[in-house]
Amino acid sequence: MTQAYLSDHVSVAPRYQRSIRIDADFGQADPLSGYVLQGSARDALTTTLRLATNGQGAFTWTGPYGGGKSSLALALASYSLGRGPAYREAKQLLGDVPEVADVFGRAPKDWLCVPVSGRRGNPVADLREAVASAIAGEPGHARTKRSRMEAADGRDIVERLQREVEARPKGGVLVVVDELGKYLEGAADHAVDIHFFQDLAEAANRSEGRLIVVGVLHQAFERYADRLGQSVQDEWRKVQGRFADVPIITAVDEVIELVGRAVTTERSHPQSHQIAAIVASEIAERRPGVPKDLAERLDDCWPLNPAAAALLGPITRRRFSQNERSLFGFLASAEPSGFTEFLQRTTLASGRTFGPAELWDYLQVNLEPAIMASPDGHRWAQAAEAIARAGRDGTHLRLQIAKTVAVIDLFSNGSGLAASSRTIAASLGHSDADVEEQLADLVKISALVYRRHLGAYAIYAGSDFDIEGEIEARIAERGRLEIASLNDLASLQPILAKRHYAEYGTPRWFDAQIGELAPQGLGPKDVRVSAGAAGKFLLLLPGIDVDPGQAEASLIEVSRTEHRHGLPVIVGLASNSADIRKTAIELEAARDVRNESPELAGDAAARREIDARIAHLSAQLEGLLREGFERAHWFDTGKPLDLQSLSYGLSQAASDIARRTFRQAPIVHSELINRRRPSSNSNAALRALLHAIVVGRGEQHFGIKGYPAEKGLAVTVLERAGLYVRQGERWDFVPPGETSTFAPLWSLTDGLLEAGEQVGVADIYRAWGEPPYGVQQGVMPLLLVTYLFSRRHSTAIYAKEAFQPAISDLVMDLLLQDPDHIALRSVPTDAANAVALKEFAAVASEFVEEAPSEEPLEIAQALVQFAYSLPNWSRKAQATLSKQAIDVRRLLLDADDPYQLLFVDIPEALEASGEGTAPALRTVLSELDHAYPDMIEDLKTRMLEGLKHRDAGNLSELVERAKRIAGHGGDDLKLRGFITRLAEFDGSTESMAEICGLVMGKPVTTWHDLEPSRAGMQLSEYAYRFRRVELFGDSDQQPTQTAVMVMAGVGSTERSVVRRAQIATEAQKRLGPLLDEIGKTLDAAQLEPDMVLAVIAELAQRYIEDDGERDVTVPISAEKEA
């Protein structure tokens, strides 16, 4: 009769015998058939898509081989198709993950998926072809065209993906790069440029979740750069920082379930049920919280022994196991001593299973060199030596026991499995008595050691240090455990209000702390809530002075205590307090032994033993505390909390308490700034948005182009919340509606300001941050700016105690950097002065760009803005202005109270009242407005007179004069500059101000009252020098003009005139014919010379007047002496 082998009845399901290749399997339903969305994969997908809805676009999924990352990526890619069998298969898998529909819609119709399978090649070329192929495979015409210029850095690919996103207003683009690590390996070998991935990630992160890039890795991003230089590693970190890394680490129990699905058989195996139950109970004893059906999952792995099945997960996560090796590779490969060979060589009747001993043989034959090169190498060598000792003169059972203990001791970390005598017996199919006899012999020959605190055996590493005795001695010395020490040992993590975060967008957490219930109640430290926390869960251990029967009554009384800032402190009584104290005392003693025993310095084995003991006790204490928190009787303000329901845990309780405590909190779904301390990048985005608001208010997205982070903030925080909406042709800020979650915050702020006194922004922030609002610090500046714009008609702003006419960049910067210097004040409307306000508004509108409304605050802001916009000289001048102008200017620059300014101060300064106030104000404002240009115009007139240029409306002749002598002026650099500016002079106020600043040696903006008169003299001086250069030139330039001077006196009037003139040499030549004609007339008259002189003198008196100027023909030396 032919013997039946296990291979005849047991097989590995076909789905698990092939790996996913995303580019080849995309669009097909079969590769997804049988795939199970494990909890770890679901969490990773949920995290990814939540981040995508908040603006993050680039991700890496990192996890060991065989963890289902590629299958998850294929499922997500298939869902994006929105049609076909592959989509329907993916929808069955992912349809109950709400975030999938949030991002892609219930039935995606406008998403482009680009699947890429990595290789050690050029990712730029591969992605370019993948994008083109994906677009070509879509129905209808292509929405974008391939760039004619293919950039080596892949810029054309990024730009095309962005164009595809813009062409899909109701969808987007999903890029999935499986085996991304192979491209990174190529980059590490300098075959490709890593910065392409940075450009791709930045484009995705600016797309508001409409370009999603997912890269699949088998190890951490930075591990690929381990062998590169420090500077290159720093560059890689910058690239890595653009991607949000989401780990996909399959839990031990999930691995067991996957193995059970992969190994299929039609044979029943009732004999394995008891073994699975034993191993499951051993695991549950050491790892609380295991699934209730763990025994069934282990049994489904037959003919894998339950102990071996529990070890596969930890082993496949080891570094030596990550070289292209996965869980399913082990199950399906035909390697020596592997699972497939075991099935082929083991008869069905033998009853054998593939246990830990067989797993040791497999690892030794196939992976020992890799293990020896890994961090596990030293312990592997010790185990191999111990097994060799066990094999000398030992039985086969003794050798199998040693192998079983070795592989469990080495690789059970995190599984809960320990090499107890029950587990060993269940693994080998022998009786407990036989196994315990061999175990005793192995301990005698120092092959194994028994660890009492674990109740399990381990490989003997060689040590004479009495750890047990030392720990017991320390426990005796310590006696009673201090609660403060227990909190230090516990390192409790905060309790997150996850559901509250999903609903409100605000991350809130509750402190978790351990205290002692004493007869006198709680101390200040017990009820103190840490900064940023929403409250506290305080787990109390009954003190030795507390009557156990009265403990709960005392707890109820304690829970009614008032708490700081109204933050809740939830108190609970631990039901396992004795176990917590015992374990904590032992842990503290073990730590003392580790830190205070000099003998350990030269005893590596003892150090490993005590470290393992500490790790075990830490895990045990963590489990006891978790159990204590979960099973405690909790009370909130004297009322019990029912946490015993399976669907109701501490996180949900935290969410309920947070919702009650912060019942008027606004909903703000922005992970960038809705936090207590945003990152530097988030703060940069907030700063950019606030400055964009200053210049872009009135436009959608404030005129922000592209997809930067600040645009995402504008959309998610303001536009979607209805705080910034379209009104006609413009967008504007509006107060929240009555049903808006922001309405209570606006109402609170209105109430803080209603008294009409200045209120510091820091005080407003403090009120916002306390219950029942609980606004996070990161979002406060943006919400305050929104409030100010929505209440701009009635809220005045003060920066460093100075009234601000508008919300400027200065105000924005102070809000971000130093809000203590900003204060607000309410300015209500005034119907009683409506006529006066209308007149004031009309006057103000003549002097500012944007006409104010007929509200006192806006009118005051407009007038103050006018005053601050005056040129600096106009804000300082005294002598040239009227007293009323000076007084009104001072009032505007020092304005504080709009009412006081408009209806008291200005009328008093103008000495006007009633209907005469507005016209008088108009006159004064006009005087201020024209003071500076009038002053500059006066100086221009004086300069032109000095230059002998009489047509101020036509400056071309003057400009030509200056151009003829440009570059000359000797060593006088200021004179040369004067000539240069005249050659470009256009008569404008700005052009004239430049010349004035030059001749005075300081800008006009710094002038005071005396400067204009001094400038007039300087301008006359430089005009005189200008004309001198025209007359005499300099060392290498001929004169361009000729000087003429006439001095004449005739008759008894004793009147004489002196007149000087400059005539261009070209113009002088044109006078020749006239001179000839005059000369002929005088010749014909045949006059005596004296008579000729009399005629000329008489004509001079008739046609010219004395100019009173000094003679430009005075020698240069004389000028310098003067």
User: Per-residue pLDDT for 275 more than 50?
Assistant: yes
Q: What is the pLDDT of residue 315?
A: 85
- Dist CA 220 CA 952 (whole Å): 76
DSSP per residue over 729-785, as a string? Answer: TEEEE-PPPTTSTTHHHHHHHHHHHTT-S-EEHHHHHHHHHSTTT---GGGHHHHHH
The token pair that represents 712 in the structure block: 């995402």
Over residues 78-105, mean pLDDT? 86
Block residue for tokens 């509108």: 845
Q: What letters, b where the CB count within 10 A reaches 16 and e where it falls short, cover 1030-1058?
A: bebbbeeeebbbebeebebebeeeeeebb
Q: What is the pLDDT of residue 324?
A: 41
Residue 359's CB: how many other CB atoms inside 10 A? 28
Over residues 318-339, mean pLDDT? 69
Name, of 59-68, 271-280, 648-657, the range with top average pLDDT: 271-280
Count how many residues are written for the chain.
1122
**Residue percentage of the chain with pLDDT more than 70:** 89
Q: What is the pLDDT of residue 646?
A: 39
Average of per-residue pLDDT values in the chain: 84
Block residue for tokens 């760039």: 147
Count of helix runs (H) and strand runs (E) in the chain: 51, 23
pLDDT tens for residues 479-503? 777 787 788 877 788 999 999 999 9
Are 804 and 792 in contact by the 8 Å Cβ rule? The answer is: no
Q: What is the pLDDT of residue 227?
A: 58
Block residue for tokens 């004793």: 1054
pLDDT tens for residues 458-473? 988 766 677 778 888 8
pLDDT category at 1116 given cuts 50, 70, 90 is: very low
Domain boundaries in the chain? 19-247, 267-461, 472-661, 699-826, 831-932, 947-1032, 1044-1121
- Dist CA 675 CA 695 (whole Å): 27
Asked if omega into 772 is within 30° of 0 (cis), the reply is yes
Q: What does the longest C-alpha to C-alpha distance in the chain come to?
A: 166
User: Per-residue pLDDT for 191 more than 60?
Assistant: no
Helix (H) or strand (E) holding 824: strand 822-826
* Cα dihedral 48, 52, 55, 61 sign: positive
User: Per-residue pLDDT for 576 more than 70?
Assistant: yes
- Dist CA 647 CA 654 (whole Å): 14
Q: What is the pLDDT of residue 231?
A: 66
- Dist CA 912 CA 924 (whole Å): 12
User: Per-residue pLDDT for 1109 more than 70?
Assistant: no
Q: What is the pLDDT of residue 763?
A: 94
Are 508 and 654 in contact by the 8 Å Cβ rule? The answer is: yes
Distance of CA 505 to the CA centre of its chain: 16
Which pTM value belongs to this model? 0.55
- Alpha-carbon distance values, 555 to 399, 513, 653, 996 (Å): 57, 15, 18, 83
Q: What is the pLDDT of residue 278?
A: 93
Over residues 676-691, mean pLDDT? 93
pLDDT tens for residues 102-114? 888 776 778 899 9
Over residues 547-562, mean pLDDT? 70
Q: What is the pLDDT of residue 508?
A: 94
User: Per-residue pLDDT for 430 more than 80?
Assistant: yes
User: Higher pLDDT residue, 599 or 356?
Assistant: 356
User: Per-residue pLDDT for 1119 more than 50?
Assistant: no
- Dist CA 1046 CA 1104 (whole Å): 9
pLDDT tens for residues 848-873? 888 787 778 788 888 888 888 899 88
Q: What is the pLDDT of residue 839?
A: 84
Name, of 238-242, 358-362, 834-838, the range with top average pLDDT: 358-362
- Dist CA 851 CA 836 (whole Å): 16
Block residue for tokens 């310095």: 601
User: Per-residue pLDDT for 1054 more than 60?
Assistant: no
CATH 3.40.630.30 is the classification of domain 19-247: no
Q: Which of 424, 483, 473 minimizes the C-alpha distance to 305?
A: 424
| Beta bridge partner(s), residue 196 | none
pLDDT tens for residues 819-833? 999 999 887 766 657
User: Higher pLDDT residue, 322 or 769?
Assistant: 769
Crossing angle of the two packed helices 421-428 and 396-411, in degrees rounded to 10: 120
Q: Which of 795, 936, 913 minimizes the C-alpha distance to 858?
A: 795
Q: What is the pLDDT of residue 1050?
A: 54
Judged by average pLDDT, the poorest of 232-246, 544-558, 608-622, 1050-1064 is: 1050-1064
- Dist CA 196 CA 154 (whole Å): 6
Judged by average pLDDT, the poorest of 492-496, 522-526, 1001-1005 is: 522-526
Burial grade of 415 (CB within 10 A; 0-12, 13-18, 19 or more): buried
**Residue percentage of the chain with pLDDT more than 90:** 27
Q: What is the pLDDT of residue 1014?
A: 92
- Alpha-carbon distance values, 411 to 278, 312, 315, 359 (Å): 19, 9, 6, 11
Q: Which of 972, 968, 974 minimizes the C-alpha distance to 1034?
A: 968
- Alpha-carbon distance values, 1094 to 85, 1008, 1097 (Å): 120, 53, 5
Block residue for tokens 């200056």: 962
User: Higher pLDDT residue, 901 or 430?
Assistant: 430
Helix (H) or strand (E) holding 1094: helix 1089-1103
Q: What is the pLDDT of residue 743?
A: 96
User: Per-residue pLDDT for 195 more than 70?
Assistant: yes
Name, of 202-211, 477-486, 591-600, 759-768, the range with top average pLDDT: 759-768
User: Higher pLDDT residue, 1106 or 594?
Assistant: 594
pLDDT category at 1121 given cuts 50, 70, 90 is: very low
- Dist CA 959 CA 949 (whole Å): 10
Q: Which of 35, 161, 43, 45 minimizes the C-alpha distance to 86?
A: 35
Q: What is the pLDDT of residue 276?
A: 92
- Dist CA 859 CA 869 (whole Å): 15
